Each structure stands twice: as structure tokens, then as C-alpha cells.
Amino acid sequence: MSEAPAPRNEALLLLEALPPDLQQAVPVEGNRLDSLLELVLDLGRQPEARYRDSVEYLSEREVTREDLDFVTNRVGMFGEDNRAGIPRTLHRISAIRNRSGTIIGLTCRVGRAVFGTITILRDLIESGKSVLLLGRPGVGKTTMLRETARVLAEDLRKRVVIVDTSNEIAGDGDIPHPGIGRARRMQVPRPSEQHAVMIEAVENHMPEVIVIDEIGTELEALAARTIAERGVQLIGTAHGQTLENLLSNPTLSDLIGGIQAVTLGDEEARRRGTQKTVLERKAPPTFDILVEIRSWEEVCVYSDVAEAVDAMLRGEAPHAELRVRGADGNIQISDSPSVAPTAPALQRRPPAAPHGRQRIFPVGLRSDRLAEAIQELGVPATVERELSQATMVMTLRQYYQRDVPWVRRAESRGVPVYVLRGGSYANILRQLAGIFDSPGAEDQGDEEGGEESDAAMGPEAAAIGQLQRRIADRYRGE
């Protein structure tokens, strides 16, 4: 990778906004200036220079209000997001305010245009498919977006429009930074209006590609879907580090197709071997490809988002591709190690019919009803009074969702937990018949006309069970 021309001169422009004594304190010789990440000025504290590998104090004296005023008078206007910049540079100055709105701290982040960052993803960008980038703050998402816009506009000669909400991609001022090449930039008056500018870009400027940084609200997610449905390629970033984060975020899950709770009929639930309430993908994903950026040298690629989401909702490990850039610049591609999702939908397969006499510990169920049902069906089971001696647990949905201690302890020990929606005698009969493959109880359950029972919830780790309940409750409540 190489940096854009004259990055040192741009960094010096940021230093010129500092008070004179602090300017002199920042070392510019050697590679120190090139490794500078940000300058931090907090009222009443020593000024700091933060590098890639260290933090240094610039002065023994404390920062004063005059120092903060000196800097704010030499940079652009602060927007509603408390960010400002220096015209025609990529530097960002972010403010911290007190309760009355007065600036009491500044973070001056050094912006650099870096060439070659998307080599590891270039084939995906050139495919014409929409690509979503995820990653922790500071990992290089915005830098990759900037380079993507330049490559698409200059190398592929496409009509590219950047929706630049905080002027981070193309810099501050009316003239965009040369780091975006021939791409055009639309500024956003207020961050809350980003979704409107996204739609305006499509309607007014005939783009082939739209580049968006930080999709973070439901309106922006819906605007992205509208753009994708018009056949425009989208390259964007979103809040989140992994596909799983996005899957469990109701606000942004529409980017990967959205999730809805679906109630299956008895026959379909039996055919699938799942519970009657399952989570399914609601629509085609807005983005075709999802990239988890782990560092500039390593990314994880889901080349088919729809297939990956469906696999995760089934509780399976989605197929992913790991790409690593070596020291020689060559890209090594391999299958990412399969990791089972920690938050699949509630469609776990029930365990096979148990062998031998089972000891059932009831949670929230009447023991006498359970004993009577066991006797009527003649199944090899007894009611157990001690959880430590139980080989399975039967409980009601309300207790399972509340994560009561008995259920939590059973899951931690790997004891199968079977969940019923209601504690009626017919439901208990039906559940026992399903567990032991005993015929004759289903008709009685149907005649009861009461609540339907759920399929079994097999042995699961406690953490997975809790995540499953949280996700299911969240989407059922929408």
C-alpha cells in the first residue's frame, strides 16, 4: 500500500491549527509524523499526541480555554455531529461539550488517503454487486470506502456518487479531496437527513454506484433497500463488527434481509423437526456480499449473504472466505474456520427418543398431572423431585423465557429441556408422546382445544439459550 501524494504536507496543515508552543512540540522528523494518529486536547489536562504504538504528552502545562478557542477558530464549522474539518484535507476535529454546549475537549484525527487498501477486495468491488463493510472503529472502513470510490470512478469509469455525511470520505470544504478521484460527493446538511440525500442522489444524478459511510438508522437502511431495488450498486459501511451483530440488530437487520417470527402448522413443524415458532429471513438482502474487516491485511468474506443468513437462522455455521495479504503483497484465500452461530433461531432439532427409564424434573408443571400422563401412556419415566438426579426437564414457555435458575442449571449441565406453551393435561400428554414416540396422545391434545405445545429444546449451552430467547422475543415484539 502507498499513501497519496504529499501526506506530510496535509499533516502539517493540521499542526498549523494548534497553538504555537504545541506545534513546536510535535516531532516532524523521521517517521514520527507519518505514524501520528490523533491529537487530544482536554481542558485542564496535558495535551496528548497518540501514535500507532505509543502516547506522548506534548507539554507539561494544562490545556486552557484559550487553546481550545485557538483551534476552533482555525478549522471549519462544527455540525450537529460535533465534527469539523480543514478544507481539502481528510483531517477530522471532533468536539466534546459540557452540558451548556461549551467545547471542553477536542480530538484532532489525522486523515490520510491510502492507495492499495482494496486490493484484497478488488474482485468483489468490480463484480457489480452491492458490498457491505463491517468492522470495529479505526480498522479502516472509511479508508477502504474512499479508495473504492476512486477505483470505481477512475479505473472502471463508472458514475460514482458519495453520500458524505460527516465529510470524512472526501474531506471538509466545497472542493472534495483528490483521494476520491473522479467520484462526485454530496454533502449532508444534518446527519439526520442522510437517508433523504441518499434518495436524492439516485433521483437527480443518475449514479451507477453509491458510496455510503455509517448506515446506522432504520430510515437509512430502508433508503439503502430502495436504492438497491433500482439496480444501483451500493458500497457502504454499517455499525457492527460481524454478520451475527447485524443479525441481532433489529434496526439494521433489513440490510441482510430482515428477520420475522413465523408460526408453522403442526405437520410442517414435525416435518422440519423444529418448534412451531421459528425465525426466517423476511426479504432478499440489500447487500449481496458482506465483508468483516479484521485489519488492513485480513478480511472475512460472505459472498452470498442470503445463504449465510439462512444458515445462521438454522443454527448452522455459514460458509465464509478468509483473505489474508502476505508481506509480499500476495492474497491468500482459504475457507474461514467454521464457527457455529451463538444466536440461531429457535428451531433446534429435538433430541432422539431417549433410551431407558427417564427421570423428569417439572418446572412450573403440576407433578400429579405429569405422573398421571406418564401412567396413562405407559412410557418408561418417573417424576423426579431433585434436579441433580433428573435426566430431562419439562417446563412452560413463560419460565423458560424468564431464565429461571432450574432451567439455567439444567442447560449448563447439558440436560435436555422440553418447553410447553401451556400446562394442560392434553399438552403434557402430547409432549410425552412426542418425546417417547408414543402414539395415541395427539388426538386427545387436539380435542382439548387448548394451547399448543412446542417441540423439544435439546441440550444447549446456557449462553446460547439466553441469546436465543433475547433474539426471539425482540423480533416477535415488532
CA angle 186, 189, 194 (to 5 degrees): 65
Confidence of residue 338 (pLDDT cuts 50, 70, 90): low
What is the reported pTM? 0.68
Nearest to 176 by CA among 221, 219, 231, 113: 113
Q: Please state, for a pLDDT cut of 70, what percent of the chain lies above it.
A: 85
Residues 6+ apart with CB under 8 A from 275: 269, 346, 347, 348, 454, 455, 457
- Residues comprising the chain, all counted: 478
Compute the distance between CA of residue 458 and CA of residue 68 in angstroms, rounded to an integer.
60
Compute the distance between CA of residue 299 and CA of residue 289 in angstroms, rounded to an integer.
13
Regarding the domain delimited by 114-335, which CATH topology (the fold level of the hierarchy) does it fall under? Rossmann fold (3.40.50)
> Where do the domains of the chain lie?
2-109, 114-335, 358-459
Burial class for 249, CB neighbours closer than 10 Å (0-12, 13-18, 19+): middle
Burial class for 380, CB neighbours closer than 10 Å (0-12, 13-18, 19+): exposed
Could you please report the per-residue DSSP string of 210-250? EEEEEE-SHHHHHHHHHHHHTT-EEEEEES-SSHHHHHT-T
Question: Which residues is 298 bridged to in the sheet?
Answer: 295, 324
Same fold, 114-335 and 358-459: yes
Nine-digit cell at 320? Answer: 465464509
Nearest to 162 by CA among 205, 192, 121: 205
User: Which whole number is the average pLDDT over 295-314?
Assistant: 92
Give residue 291's pLDDT. Answer: 96
Give residue 442's pLDDT. Answer: 46
**pLDDT per residue as tens digits for the range 34-81:** 889 999 999 999 999 999 889 999 999 999 999 999 999 999 889 888
Q: Which CATH number fits domain 2-109: 3.30.450, 1.10.3470, 1.25.40, 3.30.70?
A: 3.30.450
Question: Which residues is 163 bridged to in the sheet?
Answer: 186, 212
Nine-digit cell at 187? Answer: 454533502
Instruction: Specify the range with the lowest mean pLDDT, choosing from 212-221, 293-302, 346-355, 395-404.
Output: 346-355
**pLDDT per residue as tens digits for the range 220-276:** 999 999 999 999 999 999 988 899 889 888 889 999 998 887 877 778 777 777 666
Compute the distance between CA of residue 36 and CA of residue 28 in angstroms, rounded to an integer.
10
Query: CATH second-level architecture of 358-459?
Result: 3-Layer(aba) Sandwich (3.40)
CA angle 254, 319, 118 (to 5 degrees): 75
**pLDDT per residue as tens digits for the range 151-206:** 999 999 999 999 998 898 999 889 999 999 999 999 999 989 999 999 999 999 99
Compute the distance between CA of residue 45 and CA of residue 220 in angstroms, rounded to an integer.
38
Q: For residue 454, give the 3-state DSSP assignment.
A: strand
